[in-house]
Amino acid sequence: MQKYYSNGKLLLTGEYVVLDGALSLAMPTKYGQSLKVEPIEEPKIIWTSLDEEKNVWFENEFLIEEITSPHTSRNDDISNRLTQILNEAKKLNPSFLASNKGFKITTELDFSKNWGLGTSSTLINNIAQWAEVDAYSLLRNTFDGSGYDIACTQHNSPITYQLFNNLDEISHDTRNDKKRNIQEIEFNPSFTEHLYFVFLNKKQNSRKGIKHYNANKEASSSAISEISDITSKIITCNSLETFEKLITTHEQIISKIIKQKLVKDLFFNDFKGNIKSLGAWGGDFVLATSKENPTAYFKTKGFNTVIPYKDMVL
């Protein structure tokens, strides 16, 4: 038996503009997903997915020849997506699934699959480990995206993440996967006790968010530079007040780019602290700053999942 594990993710700065080269701050989470592989004699894959309460939320069986055929189609989206991922993994490593035997696969989340902490990215990275292929390539051939979420699956501390269009901009010793620069950093400001993650009761589709951004963006090079500068300042800032000013400016810049209202204006205009969207706007988690525990406030608004920073970030 083999077992693999990948961390979940949160993007603290640089949502959307990470795609266009903004320096971004990403957080691997204490929540993640495991994948267990057990060999069986029959040439098929028996797949079972468990949620955080060990309840089955998906199960199916696939013949190996069905997975390796690009023309196979099932009548449910999850099965089709899964066979696509496995098929692409085999393209990257032809020896993957090459024997006449099969596998019993069990995946297990330790967070709610509605939270948007990386149900897909953790799966991609786990399958990449199993198939012995590059996870970024597998992501590009299936879900696409910036890849920051894959970086989070593989690191156990906060990271900066930046894409480059010009490969010459990356020095040889910091080159990662030829066009991304990933650096582990220390990010443990004195005010983390005043930071909370709040789930907005809605899982946001990252692919749709990216498509909307690409269709409507007005991301100038100056805006990308401003976000990169904010990221650098957030990493080194040592006061809650400075941090709040930086995330407020960040929200205003992204709001203008994607033509969406600030989440604080939409839902929390009477909140005494600050609110910052994370990832694709309109769902998943937001970051809240508050000098007092704000759980009661958010619960009165119908948002019952409030997680302190120290309980979320690795």
* pLDDT over threshold 50, residue 20: yes
- Using 50, 70 and 90 to split pLDDT, how confident is the model at 176? very low
User: Which residue, 109, 105, 85, is CA-closest to 34?
Assistant: 109
* pLDDT over threshold 90, residue 221: no
Residue 25: the pLDDT is 98
Residue 283: the pLDDT is 78
Structure tokens at 149: 């979420």
C-beta atoms surrounding 122 within 10 Å: 30
Average pLDDT rounded to a whole number, residues 232-260: 96
C-beta atoms surrounding 16 within 10 Å: 25
Q: For 87-126, write each residue's pLDDT tens digit.
A: 999 999 999 999 889 999 999 999 999 999 999 999 999 9
Q: What are phi and psi of 310, to 5 degrees?
A: -65, -20
Average pLDDT rounded to a whole number, residues 174-180: 58
More confidently predicted of 283 and 48: 48
Residue 172: the pLDDT is 39
Three-class DSSP category at 96? coil
Q: pTM, whole model, 2 decimals?
A: 0.91
- Pairing between β-strand 285-289 and β-strand 56-63 as defined by DSSP bridges: unpaired
Three-class DSSP category at 146? coil
Q: What are phi and psi of 102, to 5 degrees?
A: -130, -165
Given a contact cutoff of 8 angstroms between Cβ atoms, the answer to whether 276 and 249 are in contact is no
Percent of the chain with pLDDT over 70: 89
Structure tokens at 196: 């909370």
Residue 101: the pLDDT is 94
- Pairing between β-strand 44-50 and β-strand 102-109 as defined by DSSP bridges: parallel
CATH topology (fold) of 192-312:
Alpha-Beta Plaits (3.30.70)
Given a contact cutoff of 8 angstroms between Cβ atoms, the answer to whether 105 and 35 are in contact is yes
Domain assignments of the chain as residue spans, ordered by start: 192-312
Q: What are phi and psi of 29, to 5 degrees?
A: -105, 160
Average predicted confidence (pLDDT) for the chain: 91
Q: What are phi and psi of 178, to 5 degrees?
A: 75, -25
Cα dihedral value 262, 199, 4, 163, nearest 10: 10
Least confident segment among 112-116, 200-204, 216-220: 216-220
Structure tokens at 170: 């990356």
Alpha helices of 192-294 — where are they, by DSSP H? 206-216, 221-236, 240-258, 263-267
- Using 50, 70 and 90 to split pLDDT, how confident is the model at 169? very low
* pLDDT over threshold 80, residue 211: no
User: Which residue, 286, 277, 145, 161, is CA-closest to 208?
Assistant: 145
CA 280/CA 16 separation, integer angstroms: 7
* pLDDT over threshold 90, residue 251: yes
